[in-house]
Amino acid sequence: MVAMTELRTHTASEFALNDLLAAKGTTTVSVCIPARNEESTVGQIVERIRTKLVEGHGLVDEIVVVDDHSTDRTAEVAANEGAIIVDASTTLADYGPGHGKGEALWKSLFASTGDIVVWCDADVRDFNTWFVSGLLGPLLSSPDIGFVKGFYERPVDGQVRGGGRVTELVARPLLTMCFPELGDIVQPLSGEYGGRRSVLEAVPFVEGYGVDIAMLIDIATKFGASSIAQVDLGERIHRNRPLHELSPMAAQVMQAALRRTGTGLAPDHFTLAPPDLEAIDIVYRERPALVTLPEYRALHSDRLR
């Protein structure tokens, strides 16, 4: 029987900006945004963070947008609003070209400089800066918290819902069965989360959509579930993907989670062949913990001595 740990849960409204700034001290904060073909939304997100949290309060020190092989003006739009642009195709290229969310997150951690790193999705239509300040709250106010996960309500077709379909049908049941100490995580696949660099650099990053659940499990395994908190970020609106696009996402989530049960249930490679749709190869790849890379250790040599 796994000993249950009471998960610390907060709301974003608990953390006033002035209080966070006082708690921040000399700690540096990076906001990183992985983006692929998000020219319609990424600019507004960067502008709001820059205006209120960088220039307005000095709570955030840099905004990094990782352009994940976009074919639109994502990089240009984000740069025009003040973001540092990282080209996923050329960053750490010796470790493989790589596509996908996990790859972009890994490269953003490499390219950013903050002691604390907060990630936000690039496709949010109603972005509010409390998505960032809410996640920073536990990290700046509680030294024993190393990782914070956001959750929110998701209005879809006029109905308010909790987690998405992959969350409710795959991720939460898997965690409850196999990793019960994480069963109280409301939205394990949410795209808004953050952590201390010393924690994030110590775990591998799954290349694709399995990154969110894998990171959660790996951090709990290495640092303890008590090092994780979650924050209610209110309401979040983003595009709702059709079901056929969710199938490979669900497969990658299951693959990453089941590999961490230690039972050998998930193969490294298999093919999804839904009726009347193109077959999709699901291949497991992960990038090593950044702290093991000589390139990364050279960038952070003063801290990692």
Coil vs helix vs strand at 236? coil
Pairing outcome for strands 116-119 and 29-35 = parallel
Give the Cα separation of 290 and 204 in Å (integer): 7
Domain boundaries, the chain: 8-299
Collect contacts of 234-237 with beta carbons under 8 A, ≥24 apart: 234/12, 234/128, 234/130, 234/152, 234/153, 235/126, 235/152, 235/153, 235/154, 235/155, 235/160, 236/124, 236/126, 236/131, 236/152, 236/153, 236/154, 236/192, 237/124, 237/125, 237/126, 237/154, 237/155
Residue 132, amino acid = V
pLDDT score of 5? 61
Of 238, 226, 164, nearest in space to 199 by CA: 226
pLDDT score of 2? 45
- Return all residues near 97 (Cβ < 8 A) that are at least 6 apart: 89
Q: What is the pTM of this model?
A: 0.92
Give the Cα separation of 245 and 205 in Å (integer): 22
pLDDT score of 158? 46
pLDDT score of 155? 54
pLDDT digits (tens, 9 = 90+) for 90-110: 999 998 777 788 999 999 999
pLDDT digits (tens, 9 = 90+) for 182-193: 999 999 999 899
pLDDT score of 39? 96
Pairing outcome for strands 205-206 and 193-196 = unpaired
Architecture of the domain delimited by 8-299:
Alpha-Beta Complex (3.90)
pLDDT score of 160? 41
CB 186 within 8 A of CB 154: no
pLDDT digits (tens, 9 = 90+) for 105-145: 999 999 999 999 999 999 988 899 999 999 999 999 999 99
Q: Which helix (H) or strand (E) holds 249?
A: helix 243-259
pLDDT score of 206? 96
Residue 265, amino acid = L
pLDDT score of 32? 98
pLDDT score of 238? 54
The residue behind tokens 């609003």 is 81
Low-confidence ranges of the chain (pLDDT < 50): 1-3, 157-161
Give the Cα separation of 183 and 4 in Å (integer): 9
